[in-house]
Chain A
Amino acid sequence: MVNTKVTLCGIEIDNPIIPASGTFGFGQEFAELYDINILGSFSFKGTTKDPRFGNPTPRIAETASGMLNCVGLQNPGVEHVIAHELPEMKKIFHKPVMANVSGFSVEDYAYTCELLDKEEQVGWLEVNISCPNVHGGGMSFGTDPKNAAEVTKAVKAVTKKPVIIKLTPNVTDIAAVAKAVESEGADGVSLINTLSGMRINLKTKKPILSITTGGLSGPCTFPVALRCVWQVYNAVKIPIVGMGGVTTAEDVIEMMLAGATAVEVGAANLVDPFASKKIIESLPEAMAKYGINNLSDIIGGAH
């Protein structure tokens, strides 16, 4: 028997597979199909202080081996999430969950994290400073090490739960941002959020997405994500949650060899609602094939 357990910021999880924020809602759609308690955990939909409709449609475009989205953090706001979504989620998921938080000011982040800190089922706070689809928020914190550090400090001050800062690949030096958040006490980093991109509709000769650009995700981003994880692993000591195009158990192993302690699965859940389940089920066989007994032994193993 192989061992798929890993420990992420002090919390042991059965396997390193975590559906990524924005691709798994609050679990309901997937719980209709399979028992989502087989997951290591999951990261719920990006939550902000106030309710947000997000951007107009079209919010989705396709590309070779991937997709673009400009959903723009549609969510009912943290109070509604705590009053309605989390109690419903509790009925279908019985493990620590990752709370994904976004904001438009340092105070926003702190406000939302402070409320979620009181929620027993929240295991980790995943602080998204990397959303490319909202103006004046999200990514503007993630592209400047100083701002990133400031958000980290503010969030750390209001919670005892492990804080994982979610980084954007849309920077020249992702390792510098990772170091900055580590120095302010981040317990971990997750990466990558989506890559900024666009498509044009040849019939209308106009951009497909309503706000012109969107975030690219899916298998076409995997090598970029892997490179980012590799660089960040060289730069920091805190654990890394790797993501970007992960679709198979082999991808999970590759991400972990590059330095990831756990792995998030995003777009794959959208095109195949059983994707995360299939990865978990095929992990033991893939481990056996590559002579891995303890998954946690291979973290950063390629360095």
Chain B
Amino acid sequence: MKNLVFELLTNKKIAKNTYECVLCGDISDIKCGQFVNIMIDGLYLRRPISVCDAEDGKLTLIYKVVGVGTEKMANMEAGTKLDLLTGLGNGYDTERSGDKPLLIGGGAGVPPMYKLCKELTSQGKKCSVILGFGSMDEVFYEDEFKSLGADVYVTTVDGSYGIKGFVTDAMNMEYTYFYTCGPEPMLKAVYNKSTTSGEFSFEERMGCGFGACMGCTCKTKYGNKRICKDGPVLVKEEIIW
């Protein structure tokens, strides 16, 4: 973990209620599947956001406006200095992927799949990516994943774009391993449909984000785990729903 100041370079709307911001700062500590915890002016607790990309001294985050903190973030202007805790959480294990990994992101769970896809691809693996959204106006990053060379499938619940239905309705390809992040009902559906081992990224309300307060603990088959420190990524075999 590092406590660092980043400078906001850009902050733009990329889909309905969804923003992409690019920050400039020391990213040496950051791995894919990890998150950062952002201090926001006027709010007491930090806000945890997944690492979407980190390269060339730039950190990309994508967030959905759901409340007071993310609303404030959407109004931040270029040049704003932000106090971040970086390098939080365990991250994904890319070594377990096999040569045909499947990446499944739902809504605000799509962002961490991007850096993961980049890394797996650079290791010579062929990624399939399923991106799940509610409706067409919420879809983002389809082209970005395609540019990485992945096979991309988009699902929308209302059928306004791509495959109609849930991410599990697109899980028909062959894959060696999977990685997923999204709302808990989606994670559970993926768990039930999946035919291989895989990794799940969980969310929990956090006090600290770095393991000190026990605010985020869940039970697993491998013992109690703090989602912020021993997670957010859990392997399929250990999950207790």
User: Is the CB of B152 closer than 8 A to any CB of chain A?
Assistant: no
Chain A residue at smallest Cβ distance from B42: A64
B1-53 residues at the A interface, CB under 8 angstroms = 1, 3, 39, 43-46
Size band of the A side of the interface? 35 or more
User: Is the CB of A32 closer than 8 A to any CB of chain B?
Assistant: yes
Taking a contact as CB atoms under 8 Å apart, the answer to whether A273 and B44 are in contact is no
Complexed CA–CA distance, A37 and B229 (Å): 23
- Set of chain A residues within 8 Å of B204, measured between Cβ atoms: 57-58
Q: Flag B210-238 by CB within 8 Å of A: 1 or 0 each.
A: 11111111110000100001000000000
- Set of chain A residues within 8 Å of B107, measured between Cβ atoms: none
Taking a contact as CB atoms under 8 Å apart, the answer to whether B212 and A29 are in contact is yes
User: Is the CB of B104 closer than 8 A to any CB of chain A?
Assistant: no
Taking a contact as CB atoms under 8 Å apart, the answer to whether B214 and A71 are in contact is yes
Interchain nearest-CB distance for A166 vs B (Å): 18
Comparing A18-26, A182-190, A253-261, A291-299, the segment that makes contact with chain B is A18-26
Interchain nearest-CB distance for A44 vs B (Å): 11
- Set of chain A residues within 8 Å of B96, measured between Cβ atoms: none
Taking a contact as CB atoms under 8 Å apart, the answer to whether A59 and B44 are in contact is no
Taking a contact as CB atoms under 8 Å apart, the answer to whether B212 and A274 are in contact is no
Taking a contact as CB atoms under 8 Å apart, the answer to whether A270 and B214 are in contact is no
- Set of chain A residues within 8 Å of B3, measured between Cβ atoms: 33, 272-274
Taking a contact as CB atoms under 8 Å apart, the answer to whether A69 and B215 are in contact is yes
Interchain nearest-CB distance for B39 vs A (Å): 7
A57-B218 CB under 8 A given contacts A29-B212, A271-B39, A274-B3:
yes
Complexed CA–CA distance, A218 and B3 (Å): 21
Taking a contact as CB atoms under 8 Å apart, the answer to whether A74 and B205 are in contact is no
Taking a contact as CB atoms under 8 Å apart, the answer to whether A74 and B44 are in contact is no
Complexed CA–CA distance, A24 and B213 (Å): 7
User: Is the CB of B61 closer than 8 A to any CB of chain A?
Assistant: no
- Set of chain A residues within 8 Å of B229, measured between Cβ atoms: 29
Interchain nearest-CB distance for B45 vs A (Å): 5
User: Is the CB of B208 closer than 8 A to any CB of chain A?
Assistant: yes
Taking a contact as CB atoms under 8 Å apart, the answer to whether A54 and B214 are in contact is yes
- Set of chain A residues within 8 Å of B44, measured between Cβ atoms: 62-67, 218-219, 267, 271
Complexed CA–CA distance, A141 and B229 (Å): 33
Q: List 11 A-B contacts (CB under 8 A).
A: A28-B211, A29-B1, A53-B224, A57-B204, A59-B216, A60-B216, A61-B205, A62-B43, A67-B45, A270-B207, A273-B1
6 nearest CB pairs, A to B: A270-B208, A60-B215, A58-B205, A60-B205, A74-B214, A60-B207
- Extra pairs beyond A53-B217, A218-B44, A273-B208 (7, CB < 8 Å): A25-B214, A53-B224, A54-B217, A57-B218, A59-B217, A71-B214, A269-B208
